[in-house]
Amino acid sequence: MVSKKIRQNEKLKLKGVQRKSGFDRWRLVTNGVSNITGEEKTFFIEFYCVNPALSPKSPVLGFKNRYDNNMAADLQFALAGTDAAKNFTSQLLVNPSFFMIRAGSLSTVCRQYNNYYACDDVDFKSDDYIISVNPGQDKSRQCFLGENNAIGSVCVSENDLLEHPEYMGNTGAMAWNLTFTRAISFEPDYKSKDISWSVIGGKTDFSGTIIFNDEEFNIDPKRSFGYYDKNWGKDFSSPFFHISSSFITSQISGKLLQNSAIAVQGEYRDRLSVLVCIEGKKIEFHADKRQRYEVIHDCQEINDDDLGPKLHWSCSVHDKKHVIDIDVYCRTKDLFLRDYESPSGERKVMRVLSTGTGVGKFKLYKVVKKSLELVEQAEISKCICEYGNLEKGESVELN
């Protein structure tokens, strides 16, 4: 059963000054199978609200995406957080204010489609749903996020991107009609004055259909391996580190661990929150608590002789009772770059490398006196892996 606290955190959390200087992001991820080819894809749907009180009547974007599509340069930028914008032509700076729906695929040929709305076109206030988007009663652009369902669509034409390069993303369309159940949730949430993170569904069972560029995908709750979380606050944490999966197969028993999930995120004051559930047993390390634990983590590019360049996410955390080791890999060519405009304006942008195809290993040990006892060793598949940095933006003198 989902607690009252988690349900409350699903609502818009921007209050007071953060309505003019803050963001709120909802994220749903699920796997689906093509009804035509049998191909499996990982899909994501995001709702992103930025500074809703600054320009409630019309969406305002503060920058234009002027980077080339060079994956090697994008990779190095996101890993290093380089200030790549300093040589661009200066333009008048404005603070952003918009609501964005972003949806697409995180596997095979990755795509993202971004639609922008005025914040007044979005209703957050009903007790019957979390988000309802209804711009000018245009039924073709209606989107809905409820307590256990999501319905909506996004569409971006070639003309849209020609006229508005700041929209970023790709051309195409995606529509969804989903219901879901939060099988595993984690609490308490990470909470600070600057940023918060709530894992509403570390394992979320989705069902329904997704239409991705005219191809229908069936969403089976037993194969969806879904995820649902939420971030809100003044600005993004940087560097940003995230791995999560509920497709975990025991190497000891050979069985799929159907009541298991992992979610790791940070950096929060140089720490990570590490949340683990293995067959109903939860072991949680919360970065905002006084809990004593040590964590070592890294994200770096390595070279595989067979598969070529790969990105490696590693996390090792321990306290007096448990030791957890997580190692996840993905091919560099499978990474997908997504930009998030910072609520602080000045063309600051969070650039995040993402994939839904991470694979790796998980080990859980129990500390017994001065030795370690192996509790579980498992393979991780269909892992969401993300790493990014917040770009400082342009140095521009206002006219």
Q: Which residue type is seen at 189? A: D
Helical segments of 228-359, H only: none
User: Is position 399 within any domain?
Assistant: no
> How many Cα neighbours within 13 Å face the side chain of 89?
4
| Selection from 166, 176, 228, 158 nearest residue 200 by Cα | 228
Number of domains in the chain: 1
- Between the two ends of the chain, the Cα-to-Cα distance in Å is 55
* Burial zone of 296 (CB within 10 Å; 0-12 exposed, 13-18 middle, 19+ buried): exposed
Q: How far is CA 385 from CA 145, 232, 258, 318, 339, in A?
A: 24, 20, 21, 21, 15
The DSSP secondary-structure symbol of 120 reads G
Q: How many residues does the chain have?
A: 399
CB of 287 within 8 A of CB of 269? yes
User: Is position 99 within any domain?
Assistant: yes
The DSSP secondary-structure symbol of 80 reads H
User: Is position 48 within any domain?
Assistant: yes
Domain residues for the domain of 164 are 4-391
User: Is position 278 within any domain?
Assistant: yes
User: Is position 398 within any domain?
Assistant: no
Measured distance CA(328)–CA(385) in Å, rounded? 8
User: Is position 397 within any domain?
Assistant: no
Q: How far is CA 165 from CA 103, 116, 157, 169, 357, in A?
A: 18, 13, 12, 9, 28
Q: State residue 124 phi and psi, 5-degree precision.
A: -110, 0
The strand pairing partners of 195, in sequence order, are: 233
CB of 77 within 8 A of CB of 351? yes
User: Is position 396 within any domain?
Assistant: no
- Considering the entire predicted model, what is its pTM? 0.90
> How many Cα neighbours within 13 Å face the side chain of 32?
28
> How many Cα neighbours within 13 Å face the side chain of 51?
19
Contacts of 125 (CB under 8 A, 6+ apart): none
| Selection from 275, 195, 278, 251 nearest residue 22 by Cα | 195
345: helix, strand or coil: coil
Q: State residue 231 phi and psi, 5-degree precision.
A: -125, 140
Per-residue pLDDT of the chain in tens (399 residues, 90 and over written 9): 556 665 788 999 999 999 999 999 999 999 999 999 999 999 999 999 999 999 999 999 876 544 444 555 556 656 766 554 444 444 557 889 999 999 999 987 899 999 999 999 999 988 889 999 986 666 666 799 999 999 999 999 999 888 888 888 899 999 999 999 999 999 889 999 899 999 999 999 999 999 999 999 999 999 999 999 999 999 999 999 999 999 999 999 999 999 999 999 999 988 999 999 999 999 999 999 988 999 999 999 998 877 789 999 999 999 999 999 999 999 998 999 998 999 987 778 899 999 999 999 999 999 998 899 999 999 999 999 999 999 876 544 433
CB of 44 within 8 A of CB of 103? yes
